[in-house]
Amino acid sequence: MTSNSLVYLIALPLFGSAVLLLAGRRSDRWGHILATVLSGSAFVVGLVQFAQMLGRSNDQRAVTQKLFSWISVGTFKVDASLMLDQLSICFVLLITGVGTLIHIYSIAYMSHDLDRRRFFAYLNLFIAAMLLLVLGDSYLNLYVGWEGVGLASYLLIGFWNQKPAYATAAKKAFVANRVGDLGLSLAIMISFATMGTVSFAGVKEQAGHASTGALTAIGIMLLIAATGKSAQFPLQAWLGDAMAGPTPVSALIHAATMVTAGVYLITRSNFIFDAAPTAQLLVAIIGAITLLFGAIIGTAKDDIKKALAASTMSQIGYMVLGAGLGPAGYAFAIMHLLTHGFFKAGMFLGAGSVMHGMDDEVNMRRYGGLRKFMPITFATFGLGYLAIIGVPPFAGFYSKDKIIEVAFNAGGIKGITLGGAALLGAAITAFYMTRVVILTFAGSKRWDDKAHPHESPALMWLPMVLLAVGSVTSGIIFTHGNSLQNWLAPVVATSPAHEGELLKPAVVSILALVLVLAGVGLAIMKYLRKPVPSEAPTDVSIFTRIARRDLLQDDFNEAVFMRPGQKLTEVLVATDELLVDGAVRGVAHITQSTGRTLGMTQTGFVRSYAMWILLGAIGLLATIWVVTL
Amino acid sequence: MKWLTSLMLLPLLGAVLVATLPKAKELLAKQLAFGTTLVVAVAGIAMATQFQRDNVDLQFAESHSWIPTFGINYAVGIDGIALVLILLSVLLAPIVVLAGWNEAVGGRWSVKGFYVLILILETMMIGVFAASDVFLFYVFFEAMLIPVYFLIGGYGTGARAAAAVKFLLYSLFGGLLMLASIIAIYVISGEQGGHTFDINALSQLRLSSTTENLLFLGFFIAFAIKAPLWPFHTWLPDAADSATPGTSVLLLGVLDKVGTFGMIRYCLTLFPHASKTFTPVIIVLAVISIIYGAFLAIGQKDFKRLIAFTSISHFGFITLGIFAMTSQGHSGATLYMFNHGFSTAALFLVAGWMASRRGSSKIADFGGLQRITPIMAWAFFFAGMSSLALPGLSSFVSEFLVLVGTYTRYPVAAVISAFGIVLAALYILLPIQRALHGPTTDGNESLTDLNLREKIAIAPVLAVILVLGFYPAPLLNVINPAAAHSIAKAGFSDPLSAIDSKGATK
Amino acid sequence: MNAANYLYVSALLFSIGAIGVVVRRNAIVVFMCIELMLNASNLAFVTFARINGNLDGQVIAFFTMVVAACEVVVGLAIIVTIYRSRRSASVDDASLLKR
């Protein structure tokens, strides 16, 4: 099937961003409205596509649109063409839907900022790039969107880059992402060298003929790409700092959409990972490590946004784990991605709402008891909270428990280890999320009298309410009659039947619930029963201190990459100056000094010249005499 | 119609006209120079429309006897690769004149002298790409040094005299090695049927492998100095540091391309076997250039030197693409030459404007420019993104083609070079963070944003970067046949993908 | 009579001239020494012409004389000019080109 309206999905927001950036201050008055309308129109286009897709039979649902031939050299042919299938439509609706809600929210949230127009231009740019990422029909087209969202993320993290720390955070995010991009570009090179094609359809067709070694290499490179974009171990360090960006950005880019691109990439490349078990196992392991890593960091953070960021990292770890479990897990990874998109975006917007009412204070130790002042924020945040810790029947329960269950049933030691990690992660998640809720909304007030907490305007709470509805209902909708699994079946291989499974679904659910309750209980004991100091206590154990320092991720990067890199740069600069250029200057110096030395014989005294001539003549004669002797 | 000769004569005519103006009429000299370069640019585009893109022979060919005693002809003719580079030269020239409207003020000589030199240089830039007689090429190759020498030494800043001499002597050294090779090949041609300097006739010679290797080295070192390839690069940062921004654009954007162009046109065509022999060494040098240039760029404290080192890294990519001997590598390298011309032009021009406003090009002297001069900051950011090869901008297409083309034959070299894209992020983002972001530092509060003339000068550059990023086909269509032809002439063909080659052996 | 004797005289004259050029400072004396060397060579030329029985050497001697005459004109003019401006005829003082 071909369609000629796919391009509008990208063109509408791209047009908005171009207009706002080129028109500059002239569009200050209406820029945010234009951007929101265009993002909304993209959502409408997405809905129309979705409706048309529903009207077709399951194997006819994918549509493509070829725009033009982009690069064509020898056998390397890449078209700029788009493909919308069952997997990408999920993302299109998530991106444009949540994206539009966040546009609306930002109109109010950014209303006092002089550069609001620029903010909306970047948001539209992000939407366009993200849509290109999920609509591209080849790895190279995806790559354009992949770096495009990186650029938008860089611009938005550094939106207030007059603060040096924020500018540094933006740069850090870009560089970490670039390391991931390196993986993606290598994956594309390998796949062209082995299979002669870089389009999804082409690679899917050829993957069966390629050697396992090549596929494993491609898989590992794709995994590196995913770790960069999705803040997975070991490239996770940028996400916490990325919270420097305005809160709507954290909600849209660093929670709901961009950071999940890695999961999309792995799921999209299922045909590679299914044929490369080593790479697939690595994916699962990385996911398991990250979900614990993020959860542990989450327990120690006092900054509400950083706590949520750690939680995002951890939740994406679940998705990556799911995607790493192969055909059994892809659909649940995507399901968790979608439900997470709702509840985490909702919670970030809630955090933004709290900050909005608290003069941009982010330290949860200065909050407390806010539920009375911000009832709507509390309610929506609370629903998101119930969803993320996995209380039935909220969305997270369906998606997360499924991933835990599939992990347990992966078989052998692998299953028990991965499942155990996922289960432990669920308990820690319950603990730190309860901590966030208690510190923010419950307990006694800890803010000073200058703050006047108040509920946010309707433009802000309306999107929060809609996202909360999503966090409540999406899980039921996606699992009702295995709807999402069946929907995705033509794109990703379907889950095999539960034969010889280790644990029954009900057992997993009960185990998880018990652990979640334990986590919640521990948090209540620790933070609700005892008063919370408004300064973080310093006499804490070494473990807490390490967790507060993000498990030493920055210290590691600085010690292993940054400082040696700086040293190497210094050494090379000195080498270039002294050795390479020194050789050139040395030759020049030798020439000069030779000239100067020889010039000393030129005394300027006629008689000495005459003397030399005489001696020369005598010498010449003597030589002739000796030779002819 | 004799396109190439007309194209070369036009700027020369302009130079004569500018030279006859009275010294005091500076504005008229500028306007005349700008008008001339604009006419040449239009003529160049008109010529490009007449180019038959699937014809791999030299087109618009002319040949007139010049010095019959030695069989030297005034012979010109271009293929797709040369066409792209001539287009680059004629398009950048008016932009350079317009962008550097006040560059000539404060020079050692008169303002009109600056424009006379620029116009003469333009003639020679066209000539060096158009020549199809080796001797004529050599004459242009060396004669080009003279206007650049005076442009750096007469109108530059800082230690301009030293930089100009370093540039001249370094290039001359390479040129003389090449001259020795040219004389030798001329003598050999005499032994094998008749003295000639015609490139097509010379490529038919039978050379013993030692001779071929030595002659190849003579040419290659000249081109490696010009390009510049590690370790022959040290003249470039000094020259770029001292030259005016406009001169730097022409120097890095166009002149240095003569080196990489020469590798394709002369090294591969005349000495295919020696090219094959030396490929591993050259690949290593190219990879070192990429990584080394990137690290040094990170370590620079001055904008102009930083851009010079980024160029060394990019020239490493171009050389890598050429000697990967695949059609992707070759087309990518040629496209890279064009794209690098534009992205470096953008970087240098904006950095030049920043430096002339601030009175310094030290990165540390700037801070928070984005709040003070948003348009200038944006232009620099855009140029920087192009330099780090962001997808959607032109450099990405060429850089990726080079990497893909290299990977199919030399995977290790491609993987190491690919680290250059991470380093590129650092060398672009670090100065952006220091100069454009953060609080506004002392001395920057009163800087003015780009004026209308500067906006008009930079806009087409940025537009070309953006358009070619999404639609490189107009250039690739011209380059591809020529690139494929030059690979075939050197005796290579694209490696099959692993699957196809398995199928072939079955 | 033995022609070689003339050659000995020529060599002697030349040596005196050469040593004079090297050791004397006064420009006029140096000049005279140069003339001495020229005439020594003239003597040698004429002697060889006599020995070989042809006129070649004599012709060259005439050339030498003409050249020597020109040289005297130019050289004396330079010496006089230098003496006028510097009040010295010492060749060691005239090393201006060095500096």
Say whether B406 sits in a helix, a strand or coil.
helix
Taking an 8 Å cut-off on Cβ atoms, the answer to whether A74 and B292 are in contact is no
User: Does residue A257 have a pLDDT over 50?
Assistant: yes
Query: Is the Cα torsion angle B88, B382, B469, B286 positive or negative in sign?
Result: positive
Rounded to 5°, the CA angle B263-B265-B268 comes to: 65
Q: What is the mean pLDDT of residues A97-118?
A: 91
Q: What is the mean pLDDT of residues B410-420?
A: 93
Contact B344, B253 (CB under 8 A): yes
List the structure tokens of B210: 């030692």
Is the pLDDT at B352 greater than 80? The verdict is yes
CB of A605 within 8 Å of a chain C CB? The answer is yes
Residue for token pair 């590992």: A220
- Which helix (H) or strand (E) element contains residue A13? helix A6-23
Mean pLDDT, to the nearest integer, of B74-79?
Answer: 92
**Counting Cβ atoms within 10 Å, is residue B219 exposed (0-12), middle (13-18) or buried (19+)?**
buried
Task: Report the percent of chain A where pLDDT is more than 90.
Answer: 48
Asked if the model's pLDDT at residue B161 lies above 50, the reply is yes
Give the DSSP letter string of B410-432. Answer: -HHHHHHHHHHHHHHHHHHHHHH
3 state SS of A138? strand
Q: What is the pLDDT of residues A523-558, one digit of tens each?
A: 888 888 888 787 778 778 888 888 888 888 888 888
For residue B505, pLDDT over 50 is answered with: no
Q: Decide: A440 and A354 in contact? Cβ < 8 Å.
A: yes
The pLDDT tens digits of the residues spanning A454-499 come to 888 888 889 999 999 988 888 888 888 788 888 888 888 766 545 5
3-state DSSP call for residue B325?
coil
Interface test with C, best of A601, A602, A607 (most C CBs within 10 A): A607
Distance in angstroms (rounded) separating the CA atoms of residues A451 and B374: 34
- Asked if residue B366 has pLDDT above 60, the reply is yes
Q: Give CA–CA dist C14/C40, Å, rounded.
A: 5
Is B224 within 8 Å of B235 (Cβ atoms)? no
- Does A232 have pLDDT greater than 70? yes
Q: What is the mean pLDDT of chain B?
A: 90
Residue-level pLDDT at A142: 94
Tokens 């050795």 sit at which residue?
A579
Query: What is the mean pLDDT of the segment spanning B177-194?
Result: 90
Spatial contact of B482 and B81, defined as CB atoms under 8 Å apart: yes
Tell me if A297 sits within 8 A of A334, measured CB to CB. Answer: no
**Interface contact A209-B326, CB threshold 8 A:** no
Would the CB atoms of A584 and B234 count as touching at under 8 Å? yes
Q: Can you list the alpha helix ranges (DSSP code H) found in B21-159?
A: 26-50, 80-99, 111-130, 134-143, 145-155
Tens digit of pLDDT for each residue in B246-273? Answer: 999 999 999 999 999 999 999 998 999 9
Q: Would you state the structure tokens that stand for residue C70, as one six-digit string?
A: 């020109």
Residue A206: closest CA among chain B residues belongs to which residue? B499
Dist. CA A299–CA A201, nearest whole Å = 43
Task: Specify whether the backbone of A192 is left (phi greater than 0), alpha (psi in -120 to 50) or beta.
Answer: alpha
C-alpha to C-alpha distances, A54 to A47, A85, A171, A600, nearest whole angstrom: 10, 11, 42, 96
Pick from A603, A604, A610: CB nearest C21: A610
CA dihedral B89, B94, B98, B100 (to 10 degrees): 30
The percent of residues in chain B predicted with pLDDT above 90, rounded, is 66
Q: Which of the residues B81, B233, B335, B400 would you substitute to probe the A interface, choosing the one with the greatest number of A C-beta atoms within 10 Å?
A: B400
In angstroms, the CA B203 to CA B271 distance is 7
Give B63's strand partners: B75
Sequence-separated (6 or more) residues with CB below 8 Å from residue C47: C3, C6, C7, C10, C57
| Side-chain half-sphere exposure of B125, counting CA atoms within 13 A | 32
- The interface pTM score, or ipTM, of the predicted complex is 0.92
Average pLDDT for residues A413-422, to the nearest whole number? Answer: 89
Q: What is the pLDDT of residue A494?
A: 65
The single-letter code of the amino acid at A428 is: I
Query: Which pLDDT value is given to residue B1?
Result: 63
- Are A457 and A543 in contact by the 8 Å Cβ rule? The answer is no
Residue-wise pLDDT for B306-333, tens only, equals 999 999 999 999 999 999 989 999 999 9
| β-strand partners of A138 | A199
Tell me the nearest-neighbour CA distance from B404 into chain A, angstroms.
Answer: 5
Contacts of B455 (CB under 8 A, 6+ apart): B375
The candidate with the shortest Cα–Cα distance to B477, out of B84, B41, B89, is: B84
Q: Give me the pLDDT at residue A615, please.
A: 93
Cβ count within 10 A of residue B467 = 13
Q: Which of A178, A76, A326, A234 is nearest to A553 (CA)?
A: A234
Tell me how long chain C is: 99
Chains in touch with C (≥3 Cβ pairs < 8 A): A
Say if residues B316 and B288 touch (Cβ distance below 8 Å): yes
Q: For residue B55, how many C-alpha atoms fall within 13 Å in the half-sphere facing its CB?
A: 12
To the nearest whole angstrom, how far is the Cα of A262 from the nearest Cα of chain B?
A: 18
Give me the pLDDT at residue B204, please: 85
Beta-carbon contacts of B441 under 8 Å, excluding residues fewer than 6 positions away, are B365, B366, B367, B368
Omega before residue B11 within 30° of 0, cis: no
The Cα–Cα gap between B268 and B325 comes to 10
Low-confidence ranges of chain C (pLDDT < 70): 1, 97-99
Query: In a 3-state reduction of DSSP, which class is residue A64?
Result: strand
Biggest alpha carbon–alpha carbon distance for chain C: 54
Please give the backbone phi and psi of residue C66, each rounded to the nearest 5 degrees, phi first: -60, -45
- Cβ <8 Å between B430 and A196: no
B418 and A146 in contact by Cβ < 8 A?
Answer: no
Instruction: Spell out the residues 6+ positions from residue B198 whose beta carbon is closer than 8 angstroms to its own.
Output: B73, B75, B132, B133, B134
Q: What is the dihedral of CA A440, A441, A446, A452, to 10 degrees?
A: 100
pLDDT band at A575 (very low <50, low <70, confident <90, very high): confident
B411 touches chain A (CB under 8 A): yes
Please state at what angle helix A412-441 crosses helix A505-523, rounded to 10 degrees. 40
Question: Contact, A283 vs A293, CB < 8 A?
Answer: no
pLDDT for residue C98: 66
Q: Which residues pair with C26 in a beta bridge?
A: C90
pLDDT value at B88 more than 90: yes
The DSSP string of A80-107 is: EEEEE-HHHHHHHHHHHHHHHHHHHHHH
CB neighbour burial string for A140-166, b if at least 16 within 10 angstroms, e if fewer: bbbbbbbbbbbbbbbbbbbbbbbeeeb
Q: What residues contact residue C85 under an 8 Å CB cut-off, 6+ apart?
A: none
What's residue C8's pLDDT?
Answer: 92
Nearest CA in chain A to B385: A151
Two tokens at B195? 């003295």
Say if residue A15's pLDDT is above 50.
yes
Q: How confident is the model at residue B225 (pLDDT cuts 50, 70, 90)?
A: very high
For every residue of B241-286, DSSP letters joined together read HHS-HHHHIIIIIIITHHHHHHIIIIIIHH-HHHHHHHHHHHHHHH
**Of B124, B341, B147, nearest to B254 (Cα)?**
B341
Query: Does residue B240 carry a pLDDT above 80?
Result: yes
Q: Which residues contact B241 (CB under 8 A, 6 or more apart)?
A: B158, B163, B302, B304, B305, B308, B361
Shortest CA gap A590–chain B (Å): 15
* pLDDT for the residue A496: 57
Residue A71 phi, psi dihedral angles, 5° rounding: -125, 130
* pLDDT, mean of residues A570-592: 88
3-state secondary structure of A295: helix
SS3 A66: strand
Interior CA angle at B407 toward B406 and B410, to 5°? 75
**A527 secondary structure, DSSP code:** I
Cβ of A606 under 8 Å from any chain C Cβ? Answer: yes
- pLDDT confidence of residue C61: 93
A607 → closest Cβ in C22, C96, C98: C22
Please say if the pLDDT value at position A31 is more than 60.
yes
Does position A219 have pLDDT exceeding 90, yes or no?
Answer: yes
Task: For residues A170 and A177, give the distance between their C-alpha atoms in angstroms, rounded to a whole number.
Answer: 11
Q: Return the exposure string of C4-42: e unless at least 16 CB atoms fall within 10 Å of the residue's CB, then b.
A: eebbeebeebbeebbebbbebeebeebbebbebbbbbbb
The three-state secondary structure class of C26 is strand
Residue A360 pLDDT grade (very low, low, confident, very high; cuts 50, 70, 90): confident
Residue B125: is its pLDDT beyond 90? yes
Q: How confident is the model at residue A357 (pLDDT cuts 50, 70, 90)?
A: confident
Going by their DSSP bridges, the two strands A63-73 and A76-84 should be labelled as antiparallel
Q: Per residue in B31-59, pLDDT tens?
A: 999 999 999 999 999 999 999 888 888 88
Tokens representing residue A186 in the block: 């290598």
The predicted pLDDT at position B506 comes to 41
